[in-house]
Amino acid sequence: MTARLARQGLWLAPAVALLAALSIYPMLYLLRVSFTALDGGFTLDHFARLFQDRFFAAAAMNTAIYTVVALGLELVLGLALAVLVDSLGRGRAFFRTALLAPMLLPPVVVAVIWRLVYNPQFGVLNGTLRSMGVDTSALVWASGQSTALLSVILVDVWEWTPFMFLLLTAGLQALPAEPLEAARVDGATAWRVFRDIKLPLLKSTIFLAVLLRAMDLMRVFDQIFLITGGGPGIATETMSLYIYRTAFRFFNFGYAAAMSLAGLALAVFFARGLLRLITARAR
């Protein structure tokens, strides 16, 4: 039997080896560095600092807000669009393809686009508003202390709603057609068919979409880095950005490592809970 397992293992080995090399080594490194003080000795200071660091708390808060708000908006919009496009007779394929565009873009390009859009003086958003007579002096979007986080969230919603749309469309297509027809004959209006039949049957797809998106939202870095750099101040600094600042501005790799591990632990904890919810409900 072990000979068979060895042969079977050969199929998995190269992939697992590569993944392990590029993830286990960094993890071990992180563990070592997080316990290493700036002078090289062993210390628990980095971890202790986490509890008192208000920047870390702020970054965690920003990440939480970002994740929850973006996820909520993307789910509702994605579902609404999936149902809407699914109900169209002709041209479905066109709408599906066109709506995918934002999520295909390189984050760099997304950042360039939205900097062009959000720029308070020259951007097309304020420009269009001004041409309609709106006073835009207070609308500073990504440059404003109180509006920056929402502005980058909207960018995420613009970019990733198509992903939810795609996943939910796939889910809708996989629904068996006959129970839906039976509901129509039984007397259900389109709304009731959706509420009573489609939505419950979509549950597992929705959970999967939420899980995948939540994992990506918690790690977000590229767009925020390129649009606001974490600012103004720390208004849009999520955990990834704070870790980056700690590691590459202050060169405090130890603390950055400790933060990374803490952030990772939170993410894994959250994801496992969600995964358990999915597998339980799907049964």
Partner 1 sequence: MSLALEGITKRFGDFTAVDSVTLEARDGEFVVLLGPSGCGKSTLLRVAAGLEHADAGRVRIGGRDVTEMEPRDRDIAMVFQSYALYPHMSVAGNIAYPLRIRKRPAGEIAAEVRRTASTLGLADLLERRPRELSGGQRQRVALARAIIRRPKAFLMDEPLSNLDARLRVEMRFELRRLHHELKTVTLYVTHDQAEAMTLADRIAVIHNGRLVQFDTPANIYHRPANLFVAGFLGSPSMNFMEDGKVTLGVRPEDIEVSFDQRPGWRSGRVWVCEDLGNETLVRIAVGADQVTARMPGGVGAAFDAPVWFRFDEAKVHRFDQATGEKKR
Partner 2 sequence: MKTALRYALAALAVAAAIAPIWWLVTISLKREIDHFASPPVWIAFQPTLDHYREAFFLRPFGAYLWHSALVAAGSTILALVLGVPAAYALARFRWPGQFRDKVGFWILSQRMLPPIVTCVPLLLMLRQLRLLDSLAALAVVYTAFNLPFVIWMMRGFFEEIPAEIEEAAMLDGESRLGALMRVVLPIASPGLAATAVFCLIVAWNEFLFALMLSQTQHGTTLPVGIASSVTQYEIKWGAMSAAGVVAMAPVFLFAAVVQKYLVRGLSLGAVKG
Q: 163 to 202, contacts with partner 1 by CB under 8 A?
A: 176, 178-179, 181-189, 192, 196-197, 200-201
Select from 168, 147, 159, 160 the least CA-distant residue to 86: 168
166 is a contact residue toward partner 2 (CB under 8 A): yes
Q: Which does 189 bind (CB under 5 to 8 A by kind): partner 1, partner 2, none?
A: partner 1
Name the packing angle between helices 148-173 and 199-218 (round to 10°).
Answer: 140
Query: What residues are paired with 36 via a beta bridge?
Result: 42
DSSP tally for the chain: helices H, then strands E: 13, 0
Least separation in angstroms between residue 199's CB and partner 1 is 10
* Residue 277 in contact with partner 1, rule: CB under 8 A: no
Alpha helices for 132-198 (secondary structure H): 148-173, 177-186, 190-192
Beta carbons of 188 and 196 less than 8 angstroms apart: yes
Which is nearer to partner 1, 14 or 176 (by Cβ)?
A: 176
Q: Please state, in angstroms and rounded to a whole number, the distance separating the CA atoms of residues 127 and 220.
A: 29
User: Does residue 108 belong to the site contacting partner 2 (CB under 8 A)?
Assistant: yes
Considering CB distances under 5 to 8 angstroms, the limit depending on partner class, which of partner 2, partner 1, none binds residue 186? partner 1
Binding mask 197-236 for partner 1 (x = CB under 8 A): x--xx-----------------------------------
Nearer to partner 1, 49 or 184 (CB): 184
Closest listed residue to residue 204, CA positions, set 274, 100, 99, 103: 274
Closer by beta carbon to partner 2, 1 or else 138: 1
Q: Which of residues 80-99 bind partner 2 (CB under 8 A)?
A: 81, 84-85, 87-89, 91, 93, 95-99
Please check whether residue 81 is in contact with residue 165, taking contact to mean a CB–CB distance below 8 angstroms.
yes
Say which amino acid occupies 244: Y
Among 67, 148, 149, 162, binds partner 2 (CB under 8 A): 162
| Touching partner 2, residues 188-217 (CB under 8 A) | 204-205, 208, 215
* List 64, 65, 150, 247, residue binding partner 2 (CB under 8 A): 247
Q: Would you give the distance in Å from CA 40 to the centre of its chain?
A: 36
Q: Does 233 bind partner 2 (CB under 8 A)?
A: no
Q: Which does 192 bind (CB under 5 to 8 A by kind): partner 2, partner 1, none?
A: partner 1
Please report how close the Cβ of residue 45 comes to partner 2 at its closest, in angstroms.
19
Measured over the CA atoms of residue 25, residue 27, residue 30 and residue 34, the dihedral's sign is negative
Total site size for partner 2, rule CB under 8 A:
85
* Contact assessment for residue 242 and residue 236, using Cβ atoms and an 8 Å cutoff: no
Of the candidates 26, 34, 27, the one whose C-alpha atom is nearest the C-alpha of residue 255 is: 34
Any contact of residue 78 with partner 2 (CB under 8 A)?
A: no
- Closer CB to partner 1, 175 or 264, in the complex: 175
